[in-house]
Structure 1
Amino acid sequence: MNYHLFELINGAAGRRDGVDDLMEFAATWLVYPVFAVLAVLAGLSLRRRQWQPVAQLGAALVAAFAMAQVLAHVSNQVRPFQSHPVHQLIAHGPGVSLPSDHATAAFAIAFGVYAFLSHRWGLALTGAALVIGFARIWVGVHYPGDVLAGAVIALLAVLEVLTAVRMYAVRGDRRYERI
């Protein structure tokens, strides 16, 4: 099913130059404006001396990349262009494709911003993450499962940090009650 969905999406590539150009931009460069929005939101939070949400978001991003690296080391799934004929629209080296690093980063930022900084901006960044993930499939460098794995890893990382924060808050409240 993963390959069939890939064929459906990537099969549309190479037909309309304008659409391909947009997808190439999204697959390659859109992640940088996502990081820029993150930096602005983090800067605004720090300006208001609210360092905890920024630290939590950073911890979620680090946790997501750590989980992604573990999965990449145990995965043997190569990129679509290494084993199938594809419409490869951007240059990319061979290697393990599961999970998508671009999708992991974009979704970790989006879900983290939603959870720790701003629901509105988190939803907007989730839309951008979806576009990035779709574009990575369109240009022929990832399967849909690679993007989905990146999103799931990002969600698990944010939930992990939320759980740790809540556990710490409960322990802190108990210590305060004893005093």
Structure 2
Amino acid sequence: MDFFELNTNVFRMINDLGKQYDYLNPSAIFIAEYMVFLLALAVIVIWFTRNEQSRMMVVCGMITFVMAEMMGKMAGRLHSNNQPFAELDNVHKLIEKAVDNSFPSDHTILFFSFCVSFWLFKRGWWLLWIMLAFLVGISRIWVGVHFPADVLAGAILSTISGLAVYLVVPKISLIHKLLGGYERYEEMVLSPLTKSKEKKSKDL
């Protein structure tokens, strides 16, 4: 069995689950299409906890994503394939997607970039973050827009980038200085608002 055949067979195995268990399709569509908004919300909430380690974690996630996405674009020049629904017959396609190079999966790169970074900083939550990234990758196959190899490549690139960023970026003094400068600016902006609220509560 060659790689293409293996890739196709694994795709069929996962994608056909949507035909057998159609009651799970709405969940798969939500994870594949809209989980990105929940990730964005989580990043915003974590950022505004105003904790230095949490903010460093978010910064590392963003840098990891940029690095992994750049590596993904280079990988896409070395190998390309269209989405499964454009290359195979009888694909169970559940969402609309334009036909283009689907290698590697950008959604998987995005989620693994942040989830791997979060896992490295807060290992107590490792299962939650890894499960979330894994579910997003599987959902992209389930809905018919990515091959397993697209997802696997995205996960590998993001994991490699995440580890490299985690080992290097927190040690860069410039990053700490920039975060410190941002926090001073944030305090300068929020301090008058906080005092105004305190004054109003006292007046009441």
**Smaller-chain TM-score range?**
0.7 to 0.9
State the shift of 1:40 in Å.
Answer: 1.5
How far apart, in 2, do the equivalents of 1:37 and 1:79 lie?
29
Is 1:6–1:144's contact at 8 Å kept on the other side of the alignment? yes
Residue-by-residue CA offset, 1:16-74 (whole Å, 9 max, x unaligned): 43211111111111122122222222222xx1344433322221121111111221233
1:48 aligns with 2:51: yes
1:153 aligns with 2:161: no
Aligned residues: 166
1:8 aligns with 2:9: no
1:38 to 38, 43, 68: 43
2:80 to 58, 66, 76: 76
Report matched runs for 1:1-150 at 5 Å: 1-44=6-49, 47-50=50-53, 51-85=55-89, 86-116=91-121, 118-150=122-154
The share of aligned pairs that are identical, in percent, is 30
Change in 2 beyond 3 A, CA 1:144/1:161: same
How far apart, in 2, do the equivalents of 1:31 and 1:110 lie?
12
Identify which range, 85-94 or 56-65, moves more after superposition: 56-65
Residue-by-residue CA offset, 1:56-114 (whole Å, 9 max, x unaligned): 22211211111112212332211111110111111111011111111111111100111
Q: Which runs of 5+ in 2 are unaligned?
A: 1-5, 174-204
Is 1:112–1:122's contact at 8 Å kept on the other side of the alignment? no
Q: Which runs of 5+ in 1 are unaligned?
A: 170-179
State the shift of 1:151 in Å.
Answer: 0.7
Task: State the AA in 2 paired with 1:65.
Answer: E
Identify which range, 157-166 or 104-113, moves more after superposition: 157-166
How far apart, in 1, do the equivalents of 2:155 and 2:145 lie?
16
Is 1:104–1:150's contact at 8 Å kept on the other side of the alignment? yes
How far apart, in 2, do the equivalents of 1:168 and 1:49 lie?
14
Is 2:81–2:103's contact at 8 Å kept on the other side of the alignment? yes
CA RMSD of aligned residues (A): 2.0
Higher relative contact order (CA 8 A, sep 6+): 1
How far apart, in 1, do the equivalents of 2:165 and 2:129 lie?
19
Is 2:56–2:170's contact at 8 Å kept on the other side of the alignment? no
How far apart, in 2, do the equivalents of 1:12 and 1:49 lie?
43
How far apart, in 2, do the equivalents of 1:36 and 1:72 lie?
29
Bigger Rg, which one: 2
